Structure 1
Amino acid sequence: MMKAVLFDLDGTLIDSAPQLVGALNQLRKQYDLPPIPFLVGRPFASHGAAGLLKAGFNMDKNDPLFDARVQEFLDIYKEVFNQNIQCMEGIEELINTLNLRKISWGIVTNKARKFAQPIVSSHPLLKHTSCLIAGDDVKLPKPSPEGLMKASQLLSIKPSDIIYLGDDKRDVMAANDASMVSMAARYGYLEAGDDAKSWGAQHIIDKPSDLLAYLSL
């Protein structure tokens, strides 16, 4: 019987793509570039600033202007990141069911705490999380299992009794290395051609409520 569920944040619990892609397009406008279509930018929302700059400017960390451009993006994003945050469809029902069954749940994200904490603290559903581990709370973010292990310790629940749900290969790798039950959220920000089956996840779900069938493992 599973005793806890841990979630990735962006693309798993919340739909942050509108704010992220919106900030990217504001930055593109500053450089006299047209906006990229939302559905083009959406799959990159799980990859942080680096992924979004790759999508919006075809820049990577080897570009000498990369660090400055990241800061420009973050300066825009910090003004909009917590506006009208919505949960992914079906998440509210899933969380309410976990609460009714008295199953602990928490959040492990690569998002910086300065962004993750305000989103979680101000959200009527997410503010009741048992734990929040942000990307800068650990030495190594996912795919390192460090954040998941830290959450396991905070919950006082052994990893093998915990499901970790995320929408990126890094989430699956971290869960497997932490000896948790790895689960891929195919409803999240997968890129065209992404095959969650190739990530090594123990289970794949297409909507949040599908998770409930695995709680009795």
Structure 2
Amino acid sequence: MKAILFDLDGTLIDSAPQLVGALNQLRLKYDLTPIPFLKGRPFASHGAAGLLKAGFNMDKNDPLFDSRIEEFLEIYKEIFNQDVQCMDGVEALIQDLNRKKIPWGIVTNKASKFSVPIVTDHPLLKHALCLISGDDVNTPKPSPEGLMKAASMLSIQPSEVIYLGDDRRDVIAANDAGMISMIARYGYLEAGDDGKNWNAHHIIDEPIDLLNYL
């Protein structure tokens, strides 16, 4: 393998505190009690839509869905980049990739207005060789478009790239791009789902396992 691409939320960074925090602020606005953090955490990789499902049992068919999404994002934009921490073990992984001069980048469905500040402000993540956000492509994951774009930017064939993520969409995108798909089981998988039925090439339980694979 010549390069590594990463998902962002739940793979490189632990964004659940900010995402669930924004959700609970929105619930309070509607006189609802906060949901427990551990209940909301698994939905952090599913974006605003997934969080609304967890916090309000709303989906895209609900007539209030779009306006509630906007309310959520208004709250989230005030706190999204506060005290952002990497997932346990990720900093050591990135430092080792840098020492070994292994190219790495990020492909996320997160909008660039959120992903770019998070990545550029972080002392380690800012060294990513590419960052493809959800609005940098016509069709976000599970489409392979973002992964293919990243491989092109790195000038590396997709078959020589690993993509690590913690959502089924990540696996679908990687497989369709012809990359090695790898599940970060330390991420935001839902209770009872270990990713074994996602058809990924590999599953890791902690970031150091990626180094062992390499």
**One fold, TM greater than 0.5?**
yes
1:190 match: 189
Shift of 1:212: 1.0
Is 2:89 aligned against 1:104?
Answer: no
Calculate the TM-score normalised by the size of structure 2: 0.99
2:124 match: 125
Shift of 1:192: 1.0
Query: C-alpha deviations, 1:121-169, integer Å up to 9, x for none?
Result: 0000100000000001001110100000000000000011110000000
Is 2:32 aligned against 1:47?
Answer: no
Query: C-alpha deviations, 1:74-105, integer Å up to 9, x for none?
Result: 00000000000000000000000000110000
Shift of 1:194: 1.4
Query: 2:120, 2:200 → 1: CA distance?
Result: 30
Q: CA RMSD for the aligned pairs?
A: 0.5
Taking only the aligned residue pairs, the percentage that are identical comes to: 78
Whichever residue aligns with residue 188 of structure 2, its letter is Y
1:18 match: 17
1:33 match: 32
Structure 1 runs (4+) greater than 3 angstroms displaced:
none
Query: 1:162, 1:214 → 2: CA distance?
Result: 13
- Secondary structure of 1:196's partner? coil
Aligned ranges for residues 199-210 of structure 1 at < 5 Å?
A: 199-210=198-209
Query: 2:82, 2:63 → 1: CA distance?
Result: 32
Query: 1:95, 1:171 → 2: CA distance?
Result: 20
Aligned ranges for residues 85-100 of structure 1 at < 5 Å?
A: 85-100=84-99
Shift of 1:108: 0.1
Where does structure 2 lack aligned partners over 5 or more consecutive residues?
none
Where does structure 1 lack aligned partners over 5 or more consecutive residues?
none
Query: 2:196, 2:99 → 1: CA distance?
Result: 31
1:65 match: 64
Shift of 1:213: 2.1
2:171 match: 172
